[in-house]
Amino acid sequence: MASECESCAFSFYDIISNFSGENQCAVQLFLQHGVVVSASDCPSCRKPTKIYVNRKIFRTLLEKCHMTPSQNLLFINEFLRKDFTRCAIKENMNITSRNIVDWKNFCDLVCLHWMNEQEAIGGIGSIIEISESKFGKKKYSRGCVMDGIWVFGGIDRDTKKHFIVPLDSKESATLIPLCQKYIKPGSTIHSDSWEAYSELNDLGYNHQTVNHSRDFVTPDVGIHTNTISKLWKNIQCWVLRAGNKKTHYKKYFARFLFTYVHSDHRTILHHFLRAIARAFPPCTVSTTVE
């Protein structure tokens, strides 16, 4: 088995120039990141398992997606771009519409799994701003009533580390456990005066509030949630560009969060391949490519 890659850097164009049509190189990159592992026999027939490139089957990642390893890698490379579109994939790569849909869904699932594994932020000395925001579109394209979903999030004012969680409810019974899961004890938490947060001071946090009906920043002491408000605006722009289907919002958030956290375009592919390995533990394959 190849040793796992701890760090590597490829620009968008590096991937195109180095891996286009190079199936063996693509397989080696997948092996190095733990997406597939090299070991031997099929448990059913006891024969060596292989990746059949000529038949365009890369079965270890997506059973029904008939693409070569090189195409798999180039698709991921496109998916991680902020201006990714299916039309661009169809124009630039020899992939059927069905495979585009299947592989896009697979990449979305990787981002969703990664989002569900978000680590707790903050700690003693950290200021974490928290709030909820609703994303969607106005009903009938007018007025203030919005059809969409609520999202809860927090951001460390200094490090800019953050978390985002789609909500089923805005009640205290939902928000308080999320605070405990994603914010380390000892953190100072800034929020609005929403009563659902009233228990935080009793749970190991220094909870300070700003009353948005009077001020955006509490005079003299500087309590505010402006940093996370900016994050919501960035996400809103992303969601509006990605689409407005309510059922797809969680996927939009997950992909935004992944690209936002891994903002270095030269290392984002490395982190995504590692995320695939964690989300979908690999089957064993032979390193022989036919």
In this structure, what CATH number is given to the domain that contains residue 150? Answer: 3.30.420.10
CB of 67 within 8 A of CB of 73?
no
- How many whole angstroms separate alpha carbon 42 and alpha carbon 207? 56
Quick count: other Cβ atoms within 10 Å of Cβ 116?
10
* pLDDT score recorded for residue 124: 95
Q: What is the pTM of this model?
A: 0.78
Give strand pairing partners of 38: 285
Residues 6 or more apart in contact with residue 98 via CB below 8 angstroms: none
Residues 78 and 178 in one domain: no
Range with the poorest average pLDDT among 92-96, 206-210, 212-216: 212-216
Residues 237 and 141 in one domain: yes
Entry field: residues in the chain: 290
- How many whole angstroms separate alpha carbon 101 and alpha carbon 67? 13
Residues 71 and 131 in one domain: no
3-class DSSP state of 285: strand
Domains held by the chain: number? 2
The pLDDT of residue 41 is above 70: no
| Closest by Cα among 57, 116, 124, 92 to 279 | 116
| Residue 4 included in any domain | no
Residues 222 and 176 in one domain: yes
Residues 253 and 138 in one domain: yes
| Residue 154 included in any domain | yes
The pLDDT of residue 118 is above 80: yes
Mean pLDDT of the region 189-198: 90
| Residue 106 included in any domain | yes
| Residue 94 included in any domain | yes
Residues 132 and 105 in one domain: no
| Residue 249 included in any domain | yes
The pLDDT of residue 149 is above 50: yes
| Residue 290 included in any domain | no
Q: Helix, strand, coil shares of the chain as percentages rounded to 5?
A: 40, 20, 40
* pLDDT score recorded for residue 205: 96
Residues 54 and 103 in one domain: yes
Mean pLDDT of the region 189-194: 91
| Residue 82 included in any domain | yes
Quick count: other Cβ atoms within 10 Å of Cβ 18?
13
Residues 198 and 230 in one domain: yes
Q: Name the one residue in this structure whose structure tokens are 């693409």.
A: 67
Residues 196 and 87 in one domain: no
**In degrees rounded to 5, what are phi and psi of residue 208?**
-125, 140
Give strand pairing partners of 127: 188
Give strand pairing partners of 210: 192
Residues 216 and 270 in one domain: no
For the chain, the C-alpha Rg in angstroms (whole number) is 22
Q: Is the dihedral of CA 168, 173, 176, 178 positive or negative?
A: negative
Residues 113 and 26 in one domain: yes
* pLDDT score recorded for residue 281: 80
**In degrees rounded to 5, what are phi and psi of residue 48?**
-60, 135
| Residue 1 included in any domain | no
Give strand pairing partners of 52: 57
Structural domain span for residue 76:
12-117+262-285
Mean pLDDT of the region 59-81: 79
